[in-house]
Amino acid sequence: MSVPLPSLDQIRDAAARIAPHATLTPVMRSDALDAAVGAQLYFKCENLQRGGAFKFRGACNAVWSLTEEEAARGVVTHSSGNHGNALAMAAATRGIAAHVVVPDGAVRAKLEAIEQAGAILHRCAPTIAAREAKAAELQRATGAIMVHPYADTRVMAGQGTVVLELFQQCDGLDALVTPIGGGGLSAGCAIAAHGIRPAIAVYGAEPAGAADAAESLTRGARVDNFTPDTVCDGLRALIGESNLDALREHRVDVIAVSDEETIAAMKQLWHALKLVVEVSSATVFAAVLKQRERFAGKRVGLVLTGGNVDLDALPW
């Protein structure tokens, strides 16, 4: 599904729209991690965002972009993860209904969180086709507006607000690294970063077991059929079509990291920053460690995307 990419102005509008609801997340630093890379690292802590992930930004922008008439019909999405929860929370800020389609077998704690945020859960078989069919059915039945997790202009604009904040919090960044899953964050951030600071180098970190963005860029055509094999549950989605266009247009350099590298990086982040970050977030630090010669001496912004982990099943 191809959707228009947001402009820098639309990202700025998104920032104004979500400001009353979203958390201005802090940027953290660590001498030990700087020394490990030989660079100055600025960690943008979206694990401290509402709902524990950057996803609230995009969902909130989508919800508050609706007209009164649209909003009255509610919103719908399919996601058993951070986006479902984010949309539920965002809908609650406007007092509108949120329908979240969740596959059978999804983690119960996540579903409880989504329900607790006030959404109505709808179960379906655990396939992409079943999810999409169920969401379409709900759109027809309720008139609710679809808010896709990443193939959505409003969502990409919302995620791009991470960079507007980061640039206000630290001057003169030479490079920016975000994880790549469906590409909502990486596309929004690349657009915002180059819009403000054309010389910045933009990187994406992708699990080697879900490196469809890297492969799509290399091949020159979008991979649209693969089976992810990674512990990074937030990064298993196929890159969206428009999202891939944004990465190509902004010459985003993708660094693939193994799960072992990511898990080791996650532990280093917990240890040095004293922050709970989820495994998907750690890909950015794993990527910088892996290719440290490209970052040596630079000022590097890294987006720590979320902190929703199962403390009873840590990956090490």
Binding mask 275-294 toward a second copy (x if CB under 8 A, else -) reads xxx-----------------
3 state SS of 144: coil
Quote the least distance from Cβ 146 to a second copy, whole Å.
28
State which residue, 66 or 276, has the beta carbon closest to a second copy: 276
Determine the interface stretch with a second copy among 130-138, 154-162, 179-187, 267-275 (rule: CB under 8 A). 267-275
98: left (phi over 0), alpha (psi -120 to 50) or beta: beta
Per the listing, tokens 């960690």 go with 43
Q: What's the CA angle centered on 58, arms 149 and 62, to 5 degrees? A: 90
Determine the interface stretch with a second copy among 99-107, 133-141, 239-247, 269-277 (rule: CB under 8 A). 269-277
Asked if residue 123 binds a second copy (CB under 8 A), the reply is no
Q: How many CB atoms lie within 10 A of CB 103?
A: 17
Asked if residue 199 binds a second copy (CB under 8 A), the reply is no
- CA R_g for the chain: 18
State which residue, 50 or 194, has the beta carbon closest to a second copy: 50
Helix (H) or strand (E) holding 42: strand 40-45
Quote the least distance from Cβ 67 to a second copy, whole Å.
29
Asked if residue 15 binds a second copy (CB under 8 A), the reply is no
User: Any residues with CB less than 8 A from the CB of 158 and at least 6 apart, and which?
Assistant: 14, 18, 57, 58, 59, 60, 61, 62, 188
Determine the interface stretch with a second copy among 126-134, 177-185, 271-279, 291-299 (rule: CB under 8 A). 271-279
User: Any residues with CB less than 8 A from the CB of 81 and at least 6 apart, and which?
Assistant: 110, 233, 234
User: Any residues with CB less than 8 A from the CB of 173 and at least 6 apart, and which?
Assistant: 42, 166, 167, 197, 200, 299, 300, 301
Quote the least distance from Cβ 305 to a second copy, whole Å.
12
Binding mask 29-68 toward a second copy (x if CB under 8 A, else -) reads ------------------xx---x----------------
One of 169, 270, 290, 299 touching a second copy (CB under 8 A): 270
With CB under 8 A as the rule, give the number of residues binding a second copy: 17
Per the listing, tokens 């010459």 go with 251
Asked if residue 307 binds a second copy (CB under 8 A), the reply is yes
Quote the least distance from Cβ 48 to a second copy, whole Å.
6
Structure tokens at 108: 């119960």
Please state, in angstroms and as integers, the Cα–Cα distance from residue 223 to each residue in 27, 91, 228, 240, 261, following that order: 34, 33, 12, 10, 24
State which residue, 92 or 120, has the beta carbon closest to a second copy: 92
Asked if residue 311 binds a second copy (CB under 8 A), the reply is yes
CA distance 147 to 138: 12
One of 198, 225, 312, 313 touching a second copy (CB under 8 A): 312
Asked if residue 26 binds a second copy (CB under 8 A), the reply is yes
Quote the least distance from Cβ 226 to a second copy, whole Å.
31
Asked if residue 119 binds a second copy (CB under 8 A), the reply is no
Q: What residues make contact with a second copy under the rule CB under 8 A? A: 26, 28, 47-48, 52, 267, 270-271, 274-277, 307, 311-312, 314, 316
